Structure 1
Amino acid sequence: MPLVFPTPLIPLSTAHAYAAFFTFSYVGSLYLSKSARLSFKHGVTVNARPGEPRVKDSEERWRNDPEVIRARLLAASVSTALSVAAVFWLVRSVTPESELRKHPSAPVWSALARLGVTLDIAHGNPLRLVLPCLVTPMLYFGPLYASWLCETLPLQRRWSVQGSLSPLFTTWIGIRNYVVGPLTEEIVFRACMLAVYHMAGASRTKMIFLTPLAFGVAHLHHAWDIYNRYGRTASAARVAILTTLFQLAYTSLFGFHCAYLFLRTGSLLPPLLSHVFCNIMGLPQYSLHVRMFPKRRRLIQLAYLLGIVGYVYTMRRWTQAEDSLFWPAPGRVARY
């Protein structure tokens, strides 16, 4: 259990400063080294059709180039380590000297608990750890049913370790999208961010609906990449703006979901696994699924509807930890 106090430990302005550091250090780290920065050759012939990316020049460095991915993964990992160190230092700085003399390691365990690195939510019942991780798959009940119809779920005919699972975790794009990206983003934009705002006494509503905006803003830098890849034309600018606005909305909504999971459970595991799962599944494609299986239209509609209803039902019932620091049970006093 973390060291807890009856009143907030830091001013809200301090939490804002830490949040700004987390955000700008994470995004800024991607541009510090030359190998991590994208490179677009000016003067190349714009050979893209409207709404389609152009052909990459051999002298350019694009986002999916292996050397760029490797450099960015290293940069993001270092930035994440700095953010975690900042939280440890903050917890250490607010720990009373009397407590440090009695328990020198107390700030370490307290910081880990505030970062959601704990299994205490289980309290001897594994379901308390497993059920929160199933809330997101419940929302995807419709797409999962469509995948079952396509026979692409694990152990089905069109699924294989080599063709379906291995590319997710053995290619640089897969390692970025499904391993290092989700892990570093959840540590920084969920664990670190919510830890400092909780220490400042921010309300749960603000932590759920305002902190994820930083997660959304952190993706705005993709606009420059899209504009260049799509030909640096007026059409490319429209694609970049629309794509970025959609990404901002989607990442913010997803952030609300993950912030809620983190606060309800007090654990980093549910939002992390949700992040990986959503990256693997992608956005639900109801129209595509209906076109693929017109004879199953009603069942697909029902599956999508059941997913939404199931998500609403399970979101509160499957996520409440017995003694969450961030979301105390009714009747319990808030702790910081």
Structure 2
Amino acid sequence: MPLVFATPPIALSTAHLLAAFFTFSYVGSLYLSKNARLSFKKGVSSTVDGEERAKENDERWRNDPDVIRARLLAASASTLLSVYVVYQLVQRITPEYESSVNPWTAVESSLARLGITLDFASNPLCIILPCLVAPILYLGPLYADYLSETLPFQRHWNFRSSLLPIVSTWVGRRNYIVGPITEEIVFRACMLSVYHMAGASRKKMIFLSPLWFGIAHLHHAWDTYNRYGRTSSALRIAVMQTLFQLAYTSLFGFHCAFLFLRTGSLLPPTFSHIFCNVMGFPQYGLHVKMFPKRRLAIQLAYLLGIAGYVYSMRWWTKADDSLFWPAPGQPARF
């Protein structure tokens, strides 16, 4: 357990400043080096209005392997910096006598506040069950995948085309490994730990802190605008996609923030992030169109997924002793 306090050891304004630093250092790191920055030719338009244009040879787009490599390195460095800032903050508020008795106090306290702990080893269900909440929500899409026979070890699933691209391509490594891990460390572990030390309420931590996560995705609008040809149609597409992404990432942030606070562990939100990235956004209309004879079954699976999500979020996520979510009747600890 980390060293705790009866009253918040830092001011809420300090937490806001740190949250802004975490956000803009993470996004800003993607543009620091020339290799990580995108480049687009001026005056190049899409041949078909509303469709992505062809890439020119001397342009640098988001999915270029060398761009991804540079950005993953930058994001990883920024993540380590954010973790170091949290450690320095914890070290600063750690009483001198604690540090003199055990010089590892600040390290252990920082790791616990960041949700990096093995305390669940005695009760693995307190971590396994929260990791299953997202798959429960995706019961409808999973049932559609079952009908398509694309689930693991079904007829249309194979290691080479279904699993290998996740780890063997730079896009896969970004979307399903490094991206989710670094984002959860920065926007959940680091951000929620400083807001908790500032005494922010649970509602603010769950529903307001993820807005930083949504803001961190706004820079994709410039990429979309350029890829679609810098036209009025491209601007409309960029605005619509960005607003949708802002809403989706904020909603997803509510989910991950709740998991982190309830369990006190970084593992459940990180697993959920990876799982949701693999699954993508649920496409109910497409699934019904693909299997019209199974329409009622698909509807039922979607509804059961929503009901199961509501139930499991309450009953499957409570850890035995979460620093961020004390049991009823227990005093708050900061």
TM-score, normalised on structure 2?
Answer: 0.99
Contact residue 77 and residue 184 of structure 1 kept, 8 A: yes
Deviation of 1:114 after TM superposition, in Å, equals 0.2
Corresponding position of 2:94: 95
Q: Is the 8 A contact 1:48 1:230 kept in 2?
A: no
- Give how far 1:157 is off: 0.9
**Aligned match of 2:11:** 11
Map Cα deviations across residues 196-220 of structure 1 (whole Å, 9 max, x no partner).
0000000000000000000000000
Can you give the 5+ residue segments of structure 2 that lack an aligned partner in the other structure? none
SS of corresponding position for 2:156: coil
2:206 maps to 208
In the TM superposition, 1:197-276 aligns within 5 A as 197-276=195-274
How many Å separate the matches in 1 of 2:292 and 2:298? 9
How far apart are the structure 2 equivalents of 1:146 and 1:43?
43
Matches of 1:285 and 1:220 in 2, distance apart? Answer: 23
CA distance in 2, matches of 1:30, 1:137: 31
- The residue type equivalent to 2:13 in the other structure is S
Any idea what the Cα deviations from partners look like across 1:96-150, whole Å, max 9, x if unmatched? 0011111110110000000000122x26222111000000000000000000011
Structure 1: unaligned runs, 5 residues or longer: none
Q: CA deviation at 1:24?
A: 0.6
1:137 aligns with 2:135: yes
Q: Secondary structure at the match of 1:63?
A: coil
**What is the Cα deviation at residue 47 of structure 1?**
3.1
Q: What is the identity, as a one-letter code, of the residue corresponding to 2:98?
A: E
Q: Secondary structure at the match of 1:61?
A: coil
Equivalent positions of 1:20-99 (< 5 A) are: 20-44=20-44, 46-99=45-98
Aligned residue in 2 for 1:293: 291
Secondary structure of the residue that 2:132 maps to in structure 1?
helix
Distance 1:243 1:224 in 2: 11
Q: Post-superposition shift, 1:170?
A: 1.0
Aligned AA (1:305): L
**Which residue of structure 2 lines up, in the alignment, with residue 172 of structure 1?**
170
Q: Which amino acid aligns with 2:265?
A: S
Q: Partner of 1:80: helix, strand, or coil?
A: helix
1:163 paired to 2:156: no
Q: Write out per-residue CA displacement over residues 147-187 of structure 1, whole angstroms, 9 at most, x where no aligned residue.
A: 00111111111111111000011100000000000000000
Counterpart Cα distance in 1 of 2:128 and 2:121: 12
- Identify the range of structure 1 (123-132 vs 50-59) with the bigger mean alpha-carbon deviation: 123-132
Counterpart AA for 1:104 = P
Classify the secondary structure of the residue corresponding to 1:156. Answer: coil
For residue 42 of structure 1, report the CA deviation from its aligned partner: 1.1
Query: Which residue identity does 1:171 align to in structure 2?
Result: T
Root mean square deviation of aligned Cα: 0.7
After superposition, the C-alpha distances for 1:228-250 in whole angstroms (9 at most, x for unaligned) are 00000000000000000000000
Q: List 4+ stretches of structure 1 deviating above 2 A.
A: none
Task: Give the AA of the match of 1:30.
Answer: L
CA distance in 2, matches of 1:211, 1:76: 20
Report percent identity of matched pairs.
Answer: 72
Question: How far does residue 303 in structure 1 lie from its aligned partner after superposition?
Answer: 0.3
Structure 1 window deviating more from structure 2 (248-257 vs 124-133): it is 124-133
Amino acid corresponding to residue 119 of structure 1 in structure 2? L
Distance, in Å, in 1 between the alignment partners of 2:48 and 2:187 is 36
Task: Figure out how many residues of one structure are paired with residues of the other and give that number.
Answer: 334
Question: Shift of the alpha carbon at 1:43?
Answer: 2.8
